[in-house]
Amino acid sequence: MESNFILHAKSKEFYWEGQGQLSIKTFSNGIAHYRTNQGFFAVEDSRFLLLNPGDYAISIESDQEVESFCLFFQPGFAEDIQRSMNERNGPLLDDPFKPIIDQSGFFEKTYEMPPGLSTLLDQMKSGFAQHEGDHIWREEYFQHIMQHLLLSQKESLAKVHSLSAERTATKLEIFHRVSIAHDYIQAYFHLPITLEQIGKASGLSTNHLLRTYRAIHGTTPHKQITSLRMERAKKLLKYTGSSMMDITLDIGLCNPVSFSKLFRKHTGLSPSEYRKKVILDKNFF
């Protein structure tokens, strides 16, 4: 019988495709790209990917070692934890959205890493080698982590419930498609992607995409892409000596002058001023 297990590894280059259990994927010091029949996903430090059982492919291509820490859950484990939480606390969510997970599984997407889950994963990563063979220690962590995943599912269902469509099935489908669009942006914001490409990837018209994306994420695709590009630019300015042209191209733009104007608009500093400030701050401290 399949059991709960951990996969912890480091690699600069890696590719694998096949079938896996219900799992969460976390990475540090770089990015891993996943492909499933649901869409494309990019996973880095501040996020985790939740995959239902099924086929997927993963690829890593990096100049430095990317560290992976992935947890795989045995069939029925999530349902058992959900039942125990309901018995202890009462139903986690009223109809028409219970149970939180059903035959369709979790919402398969990347999630922001909440502090509580991040702490549990860090503790598990640092301690699991020392506790190798300690079944009780490992299973306690698996249970606590699954409780966090179920609460994340509950939060996603609350967003589904807030949508304006009349039928629950329609709300679920809209949320699913917007999640695909959101993860497409996360995966490809560093390329010159268009609204039409995002809509095609998620199966939404551009008009429907704009309305529903704002309803769920509180912003527009364009603003989300710009925010991600500026955050990457900050990291490149802070941690590398890359030229302005290289940084411009690396975040999906073509013109360094346009990049400089956009960066100043979002930070109040030009890229070169920001880099100098970072260097001064490092020397000061």
The answer for 268, left when phi > 0, alpha when psi is -120 to 50, beta otherwise, is left
Instruction: List alpha helices for the chain, DSSP H.
Output: 77-89, 115-127, 135-162, 168-188, 195-202, 206-217, 221-239, 244-250, 256-267, 271-284
Residues 6+ apart with CB under 8 A from 80: none
DSSP string across 210-274: HHHHHHHHSS-HHHHHHHHHHHHHHHHHHH----HHHHHHHTT-S-HHHHHHHHHHHHSS-HHHH
DSSP structure class, residue 179: H
pTM: predicted TM-score of the whole model, two decimal places = 0.86
What's the number of CA atoms in the CB half-sphere (13 Å) around residue 241? 0
pLDDT at 95 (0 to 100): 44
Per-residue pLDDT tens digits for 153-210: 999 999 998 998 879 899 999 999 999 999 999 999 999 999 999 999 999 999 999 9
pLDDT at 225 (0 to 100): 97
pLDDT at 85 (0 to 100): 81
Per-residue pLDDT tens digits for 246-255: 999 999 999 9
pLDDT at 129 (0 to 100): 85
pLDDT at 27 (0 to 100): 97
SS3 113: coil
pLDDT at 105 (0 to 100): 84
SS3 133: coil
Task: Find residue 112's DSSP bridge partners.
Answer: 47
Low-confidence ranges of the chain (pLDDT < 70): 1-2, 88-104, 283-285
pLDDT at 66 (0 to 100): 97
CB-CB neighbours of 43 under 10 Å: 25
Three-point CA angle 156, 25, 227, nearest 5°: 65
Q: What is the spatial distance between Cα 155 and Cα 117, in angstroms, rounded to a whole number?
A: 15
pLDDT at 92 (0 to 100): 47
